[in-house]
Amino acid sequence: MKNTLKRAVNDCTVLEMIYQDIRGNISQRRIKVLSFNEDSFRAYCYILLFALVRPIRCYSP
């Protein structure tokens, strides 16, 4: 999983994540990983803007 997160950060790839919340509900999200470490990761979730978002090009400095 660390390699997948690292690749997503480097390539600006949008990932699909399926998880179970605290109430036991299953949820599916499209996310862009912004950063990660040993314990967690930060990501932008596209759920609310899914119909409005167009692909965004990633530019590396």
Q: What is the pLDDT of residues 9-61, one digit of tens each?
A: 999 889 998 888 888 888 888 899 999 888 888 999 887 544 444 555 555 55
CA dihedral over 9, 12, 44, 3, signed as positive or negative? negative
Q: Is residue 59 part of a domain?
A: no
**β pairing state of 41-45 and 14-20:** unpaired
Q: Is residue 7 part of a domain?
A: yes
CA dist 42 to 37, 51, Å?
9, 22
Looking at the structure of the chain, the number of domains it has is 1
| Contact residues for 6 (Cβ-Cβ < 8 A; gap 6+) | 36
The more confidently predicted of residues 4 and 53 is 4
Q: Is residue 53 part of a domain?
A: no
Q: Which domain holds residue 38?
A: 2-45
Q: Is residue 51 part of a domain?
A: no
